Structure 1
């Protein structure tokens, strides 16, 4: 049962420490499943850990979180080789893809090698909900700021481009994020850019941002765009719904 239209939930959250386990799914992951429209059966949720190198220990923690809530959790592993000859068929069999954080530059490079960009575009059009955190948020956009190359943030501009915007993550928890986004937008390195504080997510239907949500009481969402008359970046805080 795919979503009614192409859907992306791009976030700076989704995980939390468990009471008896290392990891539990937060409200943003639950919201992604809700967006898929699954009813009367166990949701099929695929964890994509490319940005962290497909660590099997991470897979185990995510699988355990899935068992806690009664979901069928699988993993799209590309290290050391793809786990299936039919990546498209595997992805289309999922209700939700949740892409984890890590190095977005490495993620995009590996996805390019394996042709995953086209697979994900087809899945998006077919109604599989695409979602994720940090690197798993930036990847759906044109690009964003990242520490993939070192502590000093740099701009990546080779995102999948399903969404024709820039993306900023961890906007409130890492002090260099906001000025880096502003500088990139002012310089024209990034187009109009949507940003999230920790715990917040951006819901897109097609390529339109339709809602900003948060799994906590603090996280906010923002849009940053270039003022052509002054050549500076202007930021506006967006309305937000608390989950």
Structure 2
């Protein structure tokens, strides 16, 4: 059952330590599933951990999190080869695609080798809700800030660009994220951007920003625009889930 229109919930959260499992999905992920509008059956959720090289321990932990949440779970694996015959067809059969954090630069390169960039666009256009954390947030945008290349943050500007904005993640948790995002918007490296504190998310319908939401009181989203040679940052009204 697809969402009414193309939907992305880009987050810096949605996953937490579990009580009896390594991970549990938290309110942001549950909201993404709610956006899919599934009734009468378990929601189909596919996890994608390309950004961590399809680490088998992570894949197992995400499957456990999905089981605890009551979702019908699958994963899309690309290392050492795709684990399904037709990745594009597999994505189209989902209600929600949830993308794990890690190296967004590696994720984008590997997705393009396997034409997953086109497959993700097709799923999004068909109403499959796209969501994820960190790299799984930046990837849907034009780009953002990343530690994919080493400890020093650098820009990434070759995102899938389903959304015509930049994206800043971990905005309140990593000191270097905010000033670099502001510089990148100010000098035109990144376009108008939306950013999220840890435990906050950004909802888009089509390419239109709809709202900022959070699973922790005090976490919020931000809007960055270029004015002259500066970036102007505006905190967004953020709804607590």
Check whether TM > 0.5. Answer: yes
1:109 and 1:47 mapped to 2: Cα distance? 18
In 2, Cα distance between equivalents of 1:10 and 1:69: 20
Q: CA RMSD in A?
A: 0.6
Runs of 4+ in 1 over 4 A off after TM superposition: none
Structure 2: gaps (5+ residues): none
| CA distance in structure 1 between the partners assigned to 2:203 and 2:69 by the alignment | 23
Give the structure 2 partner of residue 189 of structure 1: 189
Q: In the alignment, which residue of structure 2 is the partner of 1:234?
A: 232
Quick one: distance in 2 between partners of 1:113 and 1:81?
A: 11
1:5 aligns with 2:5: yes
* Distance in 2 separating the partners of 1:88 and 1:16: 29
**Corresponding position: 1:160 with 2:160:** yes
TM-score by length of 1: 0.98
Measure, in 1, the Cα distance between the counterparts of 2:29 and 2:170: 17
Distance 2:89 2:70 in 1: 23
TM-score for both structures, normalised by structure 2: 0.99
- Offset at 1:85? 2.5
- Structure 2: how far apart are the matches of 1:67 and 1:233? 43
Cα distance in structure 2, aligned partners of 1:14 and 1:45: 14
What is residue 138 of structure 1 aligned with on the other side? 138
Distance in 2 of aligned mates of 1:165 and 1:104: 16
Tell me, in whole angstroms, the C-alpha distance in 1 between the residues paired with 2:191 and 2:89.
33
Identify the residue that residue 30 of structure 1 maps to in structure 2: 30
User: Once the two structures are superposed, what CA deviation does each residue of 1:109-135 show, in whole Å capped at 9, x if it has no partner?
Assistant: 000101101111110010000000000
Task: State the 1:92 CA deviation.
Answer: 0.5
Q: What do the CA deviations read for 1:64-93 (whole angstroms, capped 9, x no partner)?
A: 111112111110000001112211110011
Q: Equivalent residues in 2 for 1:48-197 (5 A)? A: 48-197=48-197
SS at match of 1:106: helix
CA distance in 1, matches of 2:219, 2:148: 24
Shift of 1:19: 1.3
CA distance, structure 1, for counterparts of residue 215 and residue 15 of structure 2: 10
Q: Give 3-state SS (helix, strand or coil) of 2:41's partner.
A: coil
Give 1:106 deviation, angstroms: 0.3
SS at match of 2:64: helix
Question: 2 CA distance for matches of 1:10 and 1:108?
Answer: 16
What secondary structure does 2:210 align onto?
A: strand
